[in-house]
Amino acid sequence: MGTYNKIMEWFWLCMGILIIVVVTIFGIMEGFDRWIYYYGLSVFAFGTYFLRRWMRKRMEKHIEWMAQQEKQQQQES
């Protein structure tokens, strides 16, 4: 599951960068009045990236805490 999460983090980061580049190119070619709204998609992609990253780190800390609790319980027994 950890590999999947890291792949999806990279996917959303790349999508955010790609959207910014493509929208900027099309904005230059056809005018920003038509393409400016698509920058919102890059905000969504970056938001998803940061949310997934935060959740992954939070889950890693929680798993580590659970392992410590289990180790502590075994020592007490």
How many whole angstroms separate alpha carbon 10 and alpha carbon 33?
30
DSSP symbol at 48: H
Domains identified in the chain, total number: 1
How many whole angstroms separate alpha carbon 8 and alpha carbon 53?
10
Global confidence as pTM: 0.82
∠ Cα 42 46 47 (to 5°): 115
How many whole angstroms separate alpha carbon 45 and alpha carbon 36?
16
Residue 43 pLDDT = 97
State the residue range of the domain holding 14.
2-76
How many whole angstroms separate alpha carbon 28 and alpha carbon 34?
10
Residues 6-33 have pLDDT tens digits of 899 999 999 999 999 999 999 999 999 9
